[in-house]
Structure 1
Amino acid sequence: MGPGPVNADPRVLRALSTPLVGQYDPWMTATMTETMGLYRQVFATENEWTMLVDGTSRAGIEAALVSLLEPGDDVVVPVFGRFGHLLSEIAERCGARVHQVEAPWGQAVPASAVREAVARVRPAVLAVVHGDTSTTIAQPLEELGAIAHEHGALLYVDATASLGGNPFETDAWELDVVTAGLQKCLAGPPGSAPITISPRATEVIDARRSVEAGIREPGEETSSRRIASNYLDLAQIIDYWGPRRLNHHTEATSMLYAARECARVILQEGRDAVIARHRAAGDAMAAGLAALGLALYGDQAHRMANVVAVEIPAGVPADGVRTALLADFGIEIGTSFGPLHGKVWRIGTMGVNARKDAVLTTLAALEQVLRRAGHTAPSGAGVDAALAVYAERPAEVATVGGHA
């Protein structure tokens, strides 16, 4: 019940055991094509190039930035937590000049501040984290696509921690490249990074294809700079997933099976229903934690649906509570990074764990542990508050993985 990775859906674990086949077996290539179609629905996009990058979510992030950026490019990065700093570091490793737009941890970056920075810098890329789990804050995206395109920039979004559990509209919000991971709301294991690429971004990637890669013929126009990575070169990955099936690397077959099942599970329940289930679970958890006398951290108007942070009460041993929860109840929650380390706990309700019984069990266990640690918590208040939220939303208590 932490900020991820979380428990994988049993159906996804079962998919991992599917027998392997050859990389160009018709069933294998058909599965790749099917997976592309499934993730178009998950991302809410018509983008042709919607596929997987083999590796954890960070592989997807690096593939996007290394394929979009050339040395000397300017990048604007809104920073409101640890993972904005990560995007900045990766962009710097690409040789880009990074311009950060910061908000205090616990708040989102105002769109007006982003607009001012983009208008002033005129970057090649506006790179933003959607949901930063270090602070549990979600950055509103609805205005950012128009802001980026007005000034000739591409908009890249890291949706690792948000996709599947929060409202997300790739095409409607004019997002150019989005990457994610399986280990959060998608209820899978880490190791595969879904990605979707707009036609506008595809043009930029396509222009950087190199003669050396064997994709362009000698004499064709190419960029003056080669993409720094072979494995994470989206131009080559596109050709591997496309109709030509040009050999690039050995597809991570079992992770393909898992990623496909993650998407199938979401779409079987219904994308909107899954998002509503995450919101109900997150709101129930937040209400329960507040009822236990814990202060919710950050701007609650911009809290992610799938993870909530609470301030650790004075005098309560932060790591001691986490250790007792795990040892006595088999429940894991997280702390945080940097300035928040040891000051907040982060409790997730995502994927298969965004369900009523998981929320109630966690709150009941936390109440017991807090009481033993010296924190006065009203008996049963957390569970009662969560039940009250669920009572108001009976349609959002869905059956997930065999559990109500």
Structure 2
Amino acid sequence: MKTYKDLAPSLRTIMTPGPVEVDPRVLRAMSYPILGQFDPEFTALMNETMGMLRELFQTQNQWAFPVDGTSRSGLEAVLVSIIEPGDRVLVPVYGRFGNLFIEIAERCGAEVVMLEQPWGTVFDPEVIVEAIYREKPNVVAMVHGETSTGCLQPFDGIGAACRSVDALLVVDAVATIGGVPVLTDEWLLDAVIGGTQKCLSVPAGMSPITYNERVEAKVLQRKTIERGLREAGSAVSDRRPVASNYFDLGMLQDYWSPKRLNHHTEATSMLYALREGLRLVLEEGLEARFARHRRHEAALVAGLTAMGMALFGDPACKLPVVTCIRIPEGVDGESVRGMLLNHFGIEIASSFGPLKGQIWRIGTMGFSCRESNVLQVLGALEATLLRHGVQVKVGRAVQAALDVYGAEV
């Protein structure tokens, strides 16, 4: 009989843009006893989690709950539930994940209008506002923080423009929620999708979302159509029901409402993890947490530039939780990443598409965003680059970071 060794994953210092290191208190929460999904103790946890998510998203929305699945499940749930075949969807693309919005929208039968911006930059919000008035879309789908390029998109005036043409504004905040301000109500965002595996420092497996009454009205309208189709036994309308059962927001919100209509078996241990992760975020305080992420970003950037590395992207729109570095000419980027992993136990990321082989990406997110990690990655990267023949400014990187931290003897 074949035997298998005990599971013993290696300890890593994870400095990628996701996943990141999970807070030990979150891992502890995942070990707690399982409760039934309709146990009053568990449904009380569900309600508590919804309240904590409203604080995280800075919203008064009634609906704020997680979709079971990785971040993409939240994106799909929102888009599949609001897009009907033939709807016009405007997608501003400035990196990989804007293209993901396009793929999902096209699968929903949408007519997609794409705006493009060179990777490493973001849109002037006025360009998007003008496109909204010109195209009069049903939906505008945008990425807040692009981990593929390390850029952060401003939203000035975009929400108001969407309201003026009755378009729904859907925002991917997977990379930013819990690390960068996401002002759902103030920016007039209709639906926002987050992720657990980045700044929240929770394992991948849930996608927290929130949406307002404008999205809910669309969801309920489609529920009515679906009920009519079922009762008639044939097509009674040229409108179509939601294509997905699992990702139907109408069914999901019934599950998360006091009705507790059974839709799926809730991922009990993941809800424990999310609830604990949210507790830690709110205990730290959003403003303090945002400041912590900016502080460690500043130390990392100071160390990299002191070492002589060139950063990628427009610094005016840099995403605070991801730093992109140009790979020095003639250097095998994957060899450097391999040495960091195999000799130092440190993981950083490569990139995608036109940036593949051109940049490295270092994340400073959630529990991974701490002084010891920043200093370790700077020291290890310096040593690794020297081994690869790169002429770095020896000894300066860690000292520059320590200066930011105000280190004293």
Class of the TM-score when normalised by the shorter of the 2 chains: over 0.9
Which secondary structure does the structure 2 equivalent of 1:101 belong to?
strand
Match of 1:199 in 2: 213
Match of 2:262 in 1: 247
Which secondary structure does the structure 2 equivalent of 1:208 belong to?
helix
In structure 2, relative to structure 1, the CA distance for the partners of 1:141 and 1:216 (3 Å cut) is: farther
Give CA-to-partner distance per residue, 1:44-68, whole Å, 9 cap, x none: 0111100110100000000010011
- How far apart in 1 are the matches of 2:405 and 2:329? 30
Identity %: 53
Q: Structure 2 residue aligned with 1:176, among 179, 190, 195?
A: 190
The amino acid of 2:96's aligned partner reads R
Give CA-to-partner distance per residue, 1:100-151, whole Å, 9 cap, x none: 1111000001112111211111011110011111101111123221121122
TM-score normalised to the size of structure 1? 0.94
The amino acid of 2:208's aligned partner reads P
Give CA-to-partner distance per residue, 1:181-219, whole Å, 9 cap, x none: 100000010000000011111111111104656999889
- How far apart in 2 are the matches of 1:233 and 1:174? 23
- How far apart in 2 are the matches of 1:386 and 1:29? 46
Q: Alpha-carbon deviation of 1:371?
A: 0.7
Is the 2:327–2:359 Cα contact (8 Å) retained in structure 1? yes
Match of 1:320 in 2: 335
TM-score normalised to the size of structure 2? 0.93
The amino acid of 1:275's aligned partner reads F
Which secondary structure does the structure 2 equivalent of 1:32 belong to?
helix
The alignment covers a number of residue pairs equal to 392
1:63 pairs with 2:63: no
1:297 pairs with 2:312: yes
In structure 2, relative to structure 1, the CA distance for the partners of 1:38 and 1:317 (3 Å cut) is: same
Q: Which structure 2 residues correspond to residues 2-401 of structure 1 after superposition, within 5 A? A: 2-210=16-224, 224-391=239-406
- How far apart in 2 are the matches of 1:21 and 1:142? 44
- How far apart in 2 are the matches of 1:223 and 1:146? 30
In structure 2, relative to structure 1, the CA distance for the partners of 1:222 and 1:272 (3 Å cut) is: farther
- How far apart in 2 are the matches of 1:200 and 1:358? 43
Give CA-to-partner distance per residue, 1:249-279, whole Å, 9 cap, x none: 1111111111111110100111111111111
More moved, 365-374 vs 139-148? 139-148
In structure 2, relative to structure 1, the CA distance for the partners of 1:115 and 1:211 (3 Å cut) is: closer
In structure 2, relative to structure 1, the CA distance for the partners of 1:215 and 1:359 (3 Å cut) is: farther
Which secondary structure does the structure 2 equivalent of 1:209 belong to?
helix
Q: Alpha-carbon deviation of 1:224?
A: 2.2
Give CA-to-partner distance per residue, 1:205-241, whole Å, 9 cap, x none: 111104656999889x988210000000001100100
Give unmatched runs, 5+ long, in structure 2. 1-14
Which secondary structure does the structure 2 equivalent of 1:17 belong to?
coil
Q: Where in structure 1 do 4 or more consecutive aligned residues deviate above 3 Å?
A: 210-219
